[in-house]
Amino acid sequence: MLPLTNDIVFFDLEATGLNITQDRIVQVGFVKLFADGRPAEELEMKINPDYPVNPEAAAIHGLTNEMLEGEPTFKEVAPQLFDFIGDADLGGYNSNRYDVPLLQEEFYRAGIYLDTSKRRLIDAQQIFYRMEPRTLSAALKFYSGKTMENAHDALADVRATVDIFEGQLKMYAGVDFEKEDGETIQPFADMDTIAAFCQDDRFLDATRRLKKGPDGTPQFNFGKYAGQNVAAVFNKDPHYLKWILSKDFSTEVKALVKAIDDQRRGK
């Protein structure tokens, strides 16, 4: 039994995108655990965001604007959700950085203030990351059983990395991995599959300023044109290219946007 001194609502939100201040909730899932030991209560509902669902978000949670047309808006269900939460603490996975502020924004728009100053906020992801740190020393211990010596010395660090990789090859040999689209692969079959597994093909540059859109074309991943096609932006705002080239973006980003613009102009 959980050591509860106050009720707690664990919850998860699906939304039109990842922008906390602009995007809207499309689905809520609540599980309320009671300090007095009563059986947990659950609440789930889909919500019409009255706001475009980003295709990349829809590909993950499977909810489109067409599917949500007949559902209530958040403003219509806000009192019910607020009453369900009551004075409970709040918990989730990555909830402190995403779900809690997103929920607060939606309540604000509905004229309700969700005060978290006197609630405990429990984030299972933070617990995971702190108890199982993703450091070179922790990885060395996990994969090889060795203790890190001379951390942050370049040669010692790279030797540790070799040991980690060798340990990964042994641990994951023949292990299947299921991708988000349901495809099952064996990423440790050979060096080609390992390299492909390490690459995040959602982004076009190391600093993640440019990404692939749903149709595979380059999009901006920052600023006022975030989520918009790069070539289309240059069509309507050619000065934006000059601005990028004059600012402190990586050489890779500048080369990519210049190549996109050259292609756009048929050079």
pLDDT at 88 over 70: yes
What are the backbone dihedrals phi and psi of residue 111, each rounded to the nearest 5 degrees, phi first?
A: 85, 20
pLDDT tens per residue, range 44-86: 999 999 999 999 899 889 999 999 999 999 999 999 999 999 9
Phi-psi region of 16 (alpha: psi -120 to 50; beta: other; left: phi over 0): alpha
Q: Which of 128, 146, 163 is the last residue of a domain?
A: 128
Number of domains in the chain: 3
Average pLDDT, the chain: 92
Is residue 23 within 8 A of residue 15, CB to CB? The reply is yes
| pTM greater than 0.85 | no
The answer to whether residue 205 sits within a structural domain is no
Q: Which of 198, 226, 252 is the last residue of a domain?
A: 198
Q: Which helix (H) or strand (E) holds 30?
A: strand 25-33
- Smallest CA-to-CA distance from 224 within 13, 14, 2, 19 is with 19
Q: Which of 128, 153, 170 is the last residue of a domain?
A: 128
Whole-angstrom Cα distance, residue 203 to residue 189?
A: 24
pLDDT tens per residue, range 158-180: 899 999 999 999 999 999 999 87
Same structural domain, 88 and 22? yes
Same structural domain, 245 and 219? yes
Same structural domain, 141 and 123? no
Domain membership of residue 215 as a residue range: 210-264
pLDDT, position 254 = 96
pLDDT tens per residue, range 95-151: 999 999 999 999 999 999 999 988 999 999 998 888 888 899 999 999 999 999 887
- Smallest CA-to-CA distance from 16 within 55, 70, 43, 74 is with 55
Tokens of 248: 């402190």
By DSSP bridging, strand 41-46 and strand 210-212 are unpaired
The answer to whether residue 1 sits within a structural domain is no
Same structural domain, 15 and 123? yes
The answer to whether residue 189 sits within a structural domain is yes
